[in-house]
Structure 1
Amino acid sequence: MDTTYRNRAEAGTVLADRLDSLAGRSDVTVLGLVRGGVPVAAAVADRLGAPLDVLVVRKLGLPAVPELAFGAVGPGGLRVLNEEIADRLDPDEVDEVVRAETVELERRERRYREGRPPLRLDGRIGVIVDDGLATGATARAAVGVARQLGARRVVVAVPVGAPEAYALLSQTADEVVCPQRPADFGAVSRFYEDFHEVSDAEVVAALTGSG
């Protein structure tokens, strides 16, 4: 029977039990995907005794079909492209999408990283955490960004996900931890009693330990 989590914090606690092999290690950084993944990641980081950070990734959607991604942008101007798709697009269209998403990424970086150094993952194990996997597009993009930031190993951890997304992500990440992969997935929100939209203030509170 599928499990319904009370909220994202409870989901993170359950998820942390599946990551106990990483507990107490000095080379682990837990990365919450903005925004819904951050409360889950905060609970994971607390249980593992690992530092919590935030990974801001913006998908680059096709101009005509924004939900389909041809790549992503990450911190510090990092760009990860699916060349097979991007090469078929007009370069001006690509540049326009990149510009728009970079503006939003930089806004979020300023908001979340105020007083914090730029994210560095050199030689570390990056544990990318989200509240669920629907298509997995953002998580796949995040894996590429984490590798470009220097991570030597990338683990993706989510409380629930669609089987198809899990399979695709398993080809990209070094490890995918996903306790629930129901065949009739539907939507991430089905598996939470409280699935409110996470605010910028909640993200900042989790990162500063004031939440």
Structure 2
Amino acid sequence: MVLFDDRRHAGILLAKELEAFRGNPAAVILALPRGGVVVGHELSLALHLPLDVFITRKIGLPECPEYAIGAVSETGSVYLNPDAAGTVPREDIAGLVEAQRHEIARRQTLYRQGKPLPSLHNKTVIVVDDGIATGSTFFATIEALRTLAPDRIIAAIPVSPPSTAAKVRALVDHSVILATPEFFGAVGEFYVNFQQVEDEDVVRCLEQAEQVYRTRPCDVR
């Protein structure tokens, strides 16, 4: 089942479902890099909302990096999948977490160019990714964002397995999940074009979104 032409298409469809937030001065879009930034870019353009990243890194098994046992966020919080992390010694997990923290620091410098994460106090935060499978990265993000005292957290996700979608809905104040197919192997299965997003793509999306947000008047409908 193919649902989206590419990440831009997914972002356009999400924006239609989030029209009520267009031009909201208290709202901000936080995208999970890398793929979520392309989706978030389209949301930013369509809804006239500022776009930033929230950097959370998956903790994968050394012998199988794609298998997530948890995730670590840029605020330092660590989420461990209770069904998977128990099979890995604690000292091994500590080493995996530290490695991801180095990568988080690299991305913070590159993507924000020295600027801090904006204040989220009393904000409506729209958290977007290009899709979720186990949800470890997304759950770690939501857990970390709650400590920053936003007013509301909105999940914007193109596709998710039904069980993961149910967990997301229980954690956030509102959610838009476009599709929850029963048979779910990987996020990329639901896109015609799911090519790798590179660091330079992320930087370009962020710069373009900022320029448009600052220079184009909001057409509030």
Q: Which TM-score band applies after superposition, normalised by the shorter structure?
A: 0.7 to 0.9
Contact 1:120 1:150 in 2 (8 A): no
Q: 1:80 aligns with which of 64, 78, 88?
A: 78
Structure 2: which amino acid aligns with 1:157? A
Contact 2:80 2:136 in 1 (8 A): no
Structure 2: which amino acid aligns with 1:130? D
1:136-175 paired onto structure 2 within 5 Å: 136-175=135-174
| Structure 1 Cα separation of the partners of residues 102 and 164 of structure 2 | 28
Matched with 2:69 is 69
Query: What TM-score, normalized to structure 1?
Result: 0.87
| Structure 1 Cα separation of the partners of residues 181 and 59 of structure 2 | 28
| Structure 1 Cα separation of the partners of residues 171 and 117 of structure 2 | 24
Q: Number of residue pairs matched?
A: 208
What percentage of residue pairs aligned between the two structures are identical? 34
Matched with 1:206 is 205
Q: CA deviation at 1:12?
A: 0.3
Matched with 2:194 is 195
The reply on whether 1:129 has 2:105 as its aligned counterpart is no
Matched with 1:118 is 117
Which one has a larger percent strand, Structure 1 or Structure 2? 2
| Structure 1 Cα separation of the partners of residues 102 and 32 of structure 2 | 18
Q: Which moved more, 1:144-153 or 1:102-111?
A: 144-153
| Structure 1 Cα separation of the partners of residues 165 and 152 of structure 2 | 18
Could you say if the C-alpha distance between residues 193 and 82 of structure 1 is closer, same or farther in structure 2, counting changes exceeding 3 Å?
A: closer
Q: Which moved more, 1:42-51 or 1:147-156?
A: 147-156
Structure 2: which amino acid aligns with 1:141? A
Q: CA deviation at 1:114?
A: 0.6
Q: Structure 1: any 5+ residue segments left out of the alignment? A: none
| Structure 1 Cα separation of the partners of residues 117 and 138 of structure 2 | 20
| Structure 2 Cα separation of the partners of residues 116 and 33 of structure 1 | 17
Q: CA deviation at 1:185?
A: 2.7
Structure 1: which amino acid aligns with 2:158? P
Structure 2: which amino acid aligns with 1:94? I
Q: CA deviation at 1:163?
A: 1.0
CA RMSD of aligned residues (A): 2.4
Q: CA deviation at 1:195?
A: 0.7
Matched with 1:31 is 30
| Structure 2 Cα separation of the partners of residues 64 and 198 of structure 1 | 24
